[in-house]
Amino acid sequence: MNTAQPLKLNAWLIWIYFIFLSLVWGSSFILMKRGLEVFSAWQVASLRLISALCVLVFFAARSLKNIPNAKLPFVLASGLFSSLIPSFLFCAAQQGINSSTAGILNALTPSFTFLIGYLFFQQAMSWKIIAGLIVGLFGTAVLVLINPNGEVNLNFYSLFVILATVSYGINLNLVKRHIGNINPLDFTTVAITFSGILASLYMLTTDLNAFWQGVNQHPSSFVAVLTLGVFGTAIAQIALNRLINLAGSIFASANTYVIPIIAIFWGVYDGETLLIWHFLGMALILASIAILNRKK
């Protein structure tokens, strides 16, 4: 049997999934920005999750049967920390920071994954990890404390992105410790569907008349948020699971390096101002990821 063809096909699929995820997640910040031009932060976050719900609910109905009852609370908690909470925090943040800065700060996720693992999940700590966390901390300080004019001034909106990456870190440790033995497609579809249901309930409490008026007057912003939910949340999660199955989690996590670059590209294209401090902060954060992921 000739195994060269399947191996070659897998290699192509690996890079297709990797490039797709990097582009989609790197573009998510500019899509949020477009939505926030018309809708409230809470409506953008809710609509993102509701559109993901519409895609995944049919998978979730089947996947729910494959999740043990004892593991279901952890799966639902994963939905909160992986999608619901970060979606609202990112939208809140981008009311006061540009999409490029949000994309750069998003790269802090590996740092908080290690830190939370050490503090709450008995993960071992080493000098390598400590060094990586310190470098990432300096990069974060540069981005949070220096405004677009180059002046030292704490931007509280940046803290929302940091809290979102903390939420991601909690989720990754939660998955590793409690639900890592469940098929990733099963628990991600159920988790995101749960978040979408909660977002739907919240959406009903907002001013729907104003929302639909915004949809009619600015359909492009509505489409941007739908794209964010369908591709950036629902399809991206399925692609991520396939990439992990084909290439492993370490390779899949490498898109953390690419996402800020894509976010910066869109930000510059959209006229956002970036100074040398932004690039210094990004360089330090990416350096921290490299230190944390370095093999012993």
pLDDT in tens, 216-272: 999 999 999 999 999 999 998 888 878 877 776 667 777 778 888 899 899 989 988
Phi, psi (rounded to 5 degrees) for 272: -75, 145
Average pLDDT in the 172-181 region? 84
pLDDT the model gives residue 6: 56
Helices 219-229 and 4-36 pack at an angle, to 10 degrees, of 140
Phi, psi (rounded to 5 degrees) for 154: -65, 125
The size of the chain, in residues, is 296
pLDDT of 147 > 80? The answer is no
Residue 236 falls inside a structural domain? yes
Residue 160 falls inside a structural domain? yes
Report in angstroms the alpha-carbon separations of 46 from 14, 166, 219, 287. Answer: 31, 20, 17, 34
Q: How confident is the model at residue 70 (pLDDT cuts 50, 70, 90)?
A: very high
Q: What is the pLDDT of residues 25-50, one digit of tens each?
A: 999 999 999 999 999 999 999 999 99
Number of domains in the chain: 1
Q: How confident is the model at residue 295 (pLDDT cuts 50, 70, 90)?
A: low
Tokens at residue 53, please?
């719900």
Q: By C-alpha distance, which of 296, 246, 289 is closest to 105?
A: 289
CA distance 166 to 36: 23
Which residues share a beta bridge with 146? 152
Q: What is the pLDDT of residues 89-130, one digit of tens each?
A: 999 999 988 898 899 888 888 888 888 888 888 777 788 888
Residue 12 falls inside a structural domain? no
Tokens at residue 195, please?
């978040």
Report the alpha-carbon angle 146-132-99, nearest 5. Answer: 40
Q: Which residues touch 184 (CB under 8 Å, ≥6 apart)? A: 241, 244, 245
Q: By C-alpha distance, which of 66, 59, 6 is closest to 237?
A: 59
Q: Which residues touch 211 (CB under 8 Å, ≥6 apart)? A: 39, 43
Q: How confident is the model at residue 189 (pLDDT cuts 50, 70, 90)?
A: very high
Residue 17 falls inside a structural domain? no
Q: What is the pTM of this model?
A: 0.87
Question: What DSSP character marks residue 180?
Answer: T
pLDDT the model gives residue 89: 96
pLDDT the model gives residue 36: 96
Residue 213 falls inside a structural domain? yes
pLDDT the model gives residue 77: 95
Tokens at residue 287, please?
């350096």
Residue 22 falls inside a structural domain? no
35 vs 134 pLDDT, higher one: 35
Quick check: helix, strand or coil at residue 270? coil
CA distance 19 to 239: 11
Domain housing 179: 28-293
Average pLDDT in the 130-144 region? 84
- Using a 10 angstrom Cβ sphere, with 0-12 exposed, 13-18 middle and 19 or more buried, the burial of residue 128 is middle
pLDDT the model gives residue 9: 61
